[in-house]
Structure 1
């Protein structure tokens, strides 16, 4: 599981550890004491933390190699799932990772693809891959409250390329919504490729104010997210981190939610945006991601 250090991911990780003592949870973190903290807070020692910076392809590869070694040696039980929860939203599209990739795309799309592809041969049925999406991929007022512009699809190489001229918050938020559309394409591509018994799903928690997603935003936006916008959790327009985390845990380890490839909107399987069902784009994304990092399965 990625993104388990804070927000709904932390809540989901703790719920899995409390409710499913039969599950050994592996989490990624850039450093610190996440594994020990989760074990202490839940009373369940079945948690392992791997060091990984999701912005770095080398770091993702190293974490996957580490995990594969532990699986093969029997130090960890068989691998039955992957939860790609980590998410990033920036106030521009001008930044670059050490690999020259736009960071939003690197974290929200490429890292998930890399982890799953590297560990492909280690997944054991019944298995489940859950990638966290967003209803911002719809690109309309009803789904994004006017806060995030609609996605704008481009060739994969362009989506991954930093844009030094794209320095506004609108540019950064559009990169986010477009990346979340890419998550749906990735899940659909996975559902066609994964072996029998391994499912892939997109989970949409809806708008969850007060999380670390807006940590790159200005002080005013961060303040609103912590205060006024939290009031929206009393309405259907938003969900608390506690509620969203519980639903993510259910999507990850609960009863099978539906056929592989479906979109789970909070707790309901429902169609995603019409634009998210485009097989040509799905295949373009898959092959484009493979071209960005042509690694072999471990």
Structure 2
């Protein structure tokens, strides 16, 4: 599981451990963050371990995936039954650059998920479920985001993974557009993987919708931080907003299959719902897949791993 050290992810991790105390939870995250929450998780069950990874570095992702594979092959971990990709970033512009030269939002929110999944999915034992946390920000409209996010700005993967892909890229608005567009990319990724994973291995997108106190907008700047600090909490007593603990329980439901959903589905909090009309574009999904596969081969990943499933 990525993104298990704070907010929704930490709440979901605790819920998963309470419900399945005999399962082993492997947290992929920064060593510093994981060390802070490991005692809290191990208080629920000793079956928790961590592996250091920087999701903005393809070399770090490759190293972490290799360690997971070694543990699985050598029996250091039980059979792999689920993968949860909950980590994500929301930044104050669209010019942040990873060590590999990619735009950071897309690198962390899309590329990292693909790289880990393509390496580790052959180890999944059916029945298994993969869950990718997305966002209704991908709608980019007033109804779903209350005007906090602009419309998405999908062009081509080659452009979107390049720093400065949006108009006035150094602005907070461009950072919000990069986030919304990356979450659209996450849904495209789920759709394409759903067509390629073997029978018995399902993949779904989980949208927690509005959640207070996650810290996601801490680096977003501008109105996003203000809204999440002062406006959204005022809605906490309404059905429109969840706390991290409530959203974490719903994420755990998605992981454990309590929320019934066929592969490729978009789970909105507690039920399957349509994602945006824009998100159902097979040609765009195939183009994204091809770009991600080229990127994986260029960084020295296993060129055949993703094709063994399809």
TM-score (norm 1): 0.95
**1:50-129 alignment runs, 5 A limit:** 50-129=51-130
CA contact (8 A) 1:35 1:49 kept: no
| Structure 1 residues 68 and 14: CA distance shift in structure 2, 3 A | same
- Of 192, 197, 202, the residue aligned with 2:200 is 197
- 1:256 positional shift: 5.9
Residue aligning to 2:235: 232
**1:8 — aligned with what?**
8
Query: Structure 1, unaligned stretches of length 5 or more?
Result: none
Is structure 2 residue 282 aligned with structure 1 residue 249?
A: no
Asked whether the equivalents of residues 35 and 48 of structure 1 are also in contact (C-alpha less than 8 Å), the reply is no
Displacement, 1:215?
1.4
Whole-Å Cα distance in 1 between the matches of residues 14 and 139 of structure 2? 30
Q: For the residues of structure 2 that align with 1:229 and 1:190, how far apart are their CA atoms? A: 34
Q: Cα offset for 1:137?
A: 1.0
Q: 1:204 to 1:220 in 2, by over 3 A?
A: closer
Pairing of 1:91-240 with structure 2 (within 5 A): 91-163=92-164, 166-218=169-221, 221-222=224-225, 224-240=227-243
Q: Distance in 2 between matches of 1:260 and 1:225?
A: 32
- 1:180 and 1:170 map into 2 onto residues whose CA distance is 15
Q: CA RMSD in A?
A: 1.7
Spell out structure 1 runs of 4+ moving beyond 6 A. none
Deviation of 1:233 after TM superposition, in Å, equals: 2.1
Post-superposition Cα deviations, 1:119-169, rounded to whole Å, max 9, x if no partner, equal: 121111111110001111112101011001111111101110001851001
1:75 CA drift (Å) = 0.7
Distance 1:227 1:34, change over 3 A: same
- Give how far 1:95 is off: 1.2
Q: Which runs of 5+ in 2 are unaligned?
A: none
Task: Evaluate the alpha carbon distance shift between residue 113 and residue 240 of structure 1 in structure 2; reply closer, same or farther with a 3 A threshold.
Answer: same
Q: Structure 1 residue 12: deviation in Å? A: 0.3
Question: Is contact 1:60–1:114 with CA below 8 Å preserved after alignment?
Answer: yes
Aligned residues: 297
CA distance in 2 between counterparts of 1:36 and 1:179 reads 29
After the TM superposition, which of the residue ranges 257-266 and 156-165 deviates more from structure 2? 156-165
Question: Which position in structure 1 is the counterpart of 2:269?
Answer: 266
Change (3 A) 1:218 1:185: closer
Equivalent residue number for residue 29 of structure 2: 29
Q: Distance in 2 between matches of 1:201 and 1:224?
A: 29
Structure 1 equivalent of residue 41 of structure 2: 39
Superposed CA deviations along residues 20-55 of structure 1, whole A, max 9, x for unmatched, are: 112211111211215632434x42011110100100
Deviation string 1:229-281 (CA, Å, 9 cap, x unpaired) is 21212223322111111100111113362210011000011111111111001
Distance in 1 (CA, whole Å) between partners of 2:76 and 2:38 is 17
SS at match of 1:245: helix
Q: Secondary structure at the match of 1:176?
A: helix
Moved more, 183-192 or 236-245: 236-245
Structure 2 counterpart of 1:289: 292
Q: Quote how far apart the aligned CAs of 1:209 are.
A: 2.4
Q: TM-score under structure 2 normalisation?
A: 0.91
Superimposed CA distance per residue, residues 101-124 of structure 1 (whole angstroms, 9 cap, x where no aligned partner): 111001110000000001121111
Instruction: Provide the rounded CA distance (Å) in 2 between the counterparts of 1:134 and 1:58.
Output: 27
- Contact 1:184–1:276 (CA<8 Å) still a contact in 2? yes
- Provide Cα deviations, 1:67-103, integer angstroms capped at 9, x if missing partner: 0000000010011111110010111001100000111
